[in-house]
Amino acid sequence: MSATEKTFAPQIVAFCCRHCAYSAADLAGSARMSYSPSIKIVEMPCTGRANVVEILHALEKGADGVAVAGCLPGTCHYIKGNTLAKHRIDHVTELLKTIGLEQQRARMINVSAAMGAQFVAEFTNFVDTIKTLGPSPLSGETSNTRVGSQS
């Protein structure tokens, strides 16, 4: 890994459902597990609330990656909010292809409230993916300018 890649801190917007993903993030925090501080969590009642326009806006405004994090399949507190969210993320990745952005910049993540470690692992994996891709061409940043503390 080159010096520039080490310092690039991807700006990630994470739409997290209150019941599972957000709780898992809390648990990770309480357990002092560390993960990238440049993940901006947006809490929502259910990932079913996340819509395509908002995900696109996040990327348009320069987010290097957008994740939608919700309950494990079959356990959504609102029955199928996470199923709808997955459907929409799939649609977003198709759109990204025609727009000209890398499809890997959008992702669906599923964790339960008890899975603090899993939350950290999933997001670390996502951050690594984004690091490989580099800053979003829409952010106006390069690897040199998009820096933050070590993740």
Determine if 57 is a binding residue for another protein (CB under 8 A): yes
Determine if 99 is a binding residue for another protein (CB under 8 A): yes
Q: Which residue has the tokens 């292809």?
A: 97
Among 101, 106, 108, 113, binds another protein (CB under 8 A): 101
d(Cα 102, Cα 89) in Å, to the nearest integer?
13
Length of the chain: 151
Residues 6+ away with beta carbon under 8 Å from 137: 101
Residue (77 or 87) nearer to another protein, CB:
87
Among 4, 37, 52, 144, binds another protein (CB under 8 A): 52
Residue (6 or 97) nearer to another protein, CB:
97
Among 2, 30, 98, 149, binds another protein (CB under 8 A): 98
d(Cα 132, Cα 99) in Å, to the nearest integer?
20
Check: CB of residue 9 under 8 Å from CB of residue 38. Answer: yes
Supply the minimum distance, in Å, between the C-beta of residue 131 and another protein.
20
Check: CB of residue 64 under 8 Å from CB of residue 106. Answer: no
Binding to another protein (CB under 8 A) within 118-137 occurs at: 137
Determine if 95 is a binding residue for another protein (CB under 8 A): yes
d(Cα 103, Cα 96) in Å, to the nearest integer?
6
Residue (30 or 98) nearer to another protein, CB:
98
Supply the minimum distance, in Å, between the C-beta of residue 40 and another protein.
19
Amino acid at 108: M
Q: What residues line the site for another protein (CB under 8 A)?
A: 51-53, 56-57, 59-60, 95, 98-101, 137-138
